[in-house]
Structure 1
């Protein structure tokens, strides 16, 4: 049961140094470093090419066709936050556009993740305000029903707690629990260092079959070569 009509003003945000460290890595690397969990469903896409964002979550629970709580959430945004909005039921209306982005940016917001629609895409691109949404839709919304701000929300099948780290790029969106941010940043750095070595070997022509020692297992499972 969703908690409605509540705004939590106090958020325990992830460590700032850990957020800055995670911002150096792509979503795929962070997802792997987290243990292959935390991804939003892949229908959440950037509304313009090249959009990327990393920051701490301020959450909003919306009602279908109603963007009132995005305005309420704007007051709770601090420098470095990413607004993350879910909805009580599926809705692709255009909850967010250029005017709200202007307001959010003035408060220090880094971007928006929304399981709903977005409009004013050309203006958002010109502003370079990253938005990742379920749909692009010119249909407007009303301001008539209460949701909540800074409560746990499920967005595209992923649980987001206020203060969690959101990393988003062309590959998707991943949620890193605030308490694990430093650990995951360290694991991501270790993974990238390992990949650099593998990349060099691939560039020299070595096959994954040999680099990952796949041949014995393939043979044991019955793979045969025929000329």
Structure 2
């Protein structure tokens, strides 16, 4: 199992002069949970926005992802999962560090065994419908944080932080 040598609390404490955003837990009950075997992960952000269609998620996680984290804005939908075990296995095979999904995942027992960081709002057994819809490399905003491709995200069980600068070597 690969672990990243950081704790998000320490990143904030050690970099008071840097502009770091912290994802704020929602008052409406939307909290991110960790589902992957990697409990801390980070890397350069690649963004995708899709609603109940994981076509772009599947496509991106089948490309080389060394040093990267896919951030998915699924519109907080609770009706279907945007990633399951097969897509997550592809992400591991292609060396992605992690995936953050503003939506749901499925196959959580299998995800817990994979060397991949996975944060999502919830789990649901229903798969998404693939229609080839979704936008890649666009600015995303959820949890009071802006996510832009090329910026850096760091996640652990304490939370999720975003920086325009690389804070640690991954």
Fold shared per TM-score above 0.5: yes
Runs of 4+ aligned structure 1 residues displaced above 3 Å come to: 34-37
Is contact 1:51-1:128 (8 Å) kept? no
Q: Which structure features the higher share of helix residues?
A: 1
Deviation at 1:157, TM superposition (A): 2.7
Question: What's the Cα RMSD here?
Answer: 2.2
**Candidates 68, 71, 82, aligned match of 1:95:** 82
1:106 is aligned to 2:96:
no
**Candidates 42, 57, 80, aligned match of 1:54:** 42
Cα separation, 2, equivalents of 1:50 and 1:79: 15
Alignment deviations for residues 188-209 of structure 1 (CA, whole Å, 9 cap, x no partner): xxxxxxxxxxxxxxxxxxxxxx
Deviation at 1:95, TM superposition (A): 1.0
Alignment deviations for residues 152-188 of structure 1 (CA, whole Å, 9 cap, x no partner): 11233311111211111110111111xx33xx55xxx
Q: Which structure features the higher share of strand residues?
A: 2
Q: Report the TM-score, using the length of structure 1 for normalisation.
A: 0.62
Q: Which residue of 2 aligns with 1:138?
A: 125
Tell me the secondary structure at the aligned position of residue 99 of structure 1.
Answer: helix
Unaligned runs of 5+ in 1: 1-22, 186-227
Q: Report the TM-score, using the length of structure 2 for normalisation.
A: 0.81
Larger Rg: 1
Tell me the secondary structure at the aligned position of residue 102 of structure 2.
Answer: strand
Cα separation, 2, equivalents of 1:95 and 1:84: 12
**Paired residues, number:** 157
Is contact 1:83-1:113 (8 Å) kept? yes
Q: Which residue of 1 aligns with 2:21?
A: 38
Unaligned runs of 5+ in 2: 26-30
Tell me the secondary structure at the aligned position of residue 82 of structure 2.
Answer: strand
Cα separation, 1, equivalents of 2:40 and 2:71: 14
Cα separation, 1, equivalents of 2:39 and 2:73: 20
Q: Which structure's relative contact order is higher, taking Cα pairs within 8 Å and 6+ residues apart?
A: 2
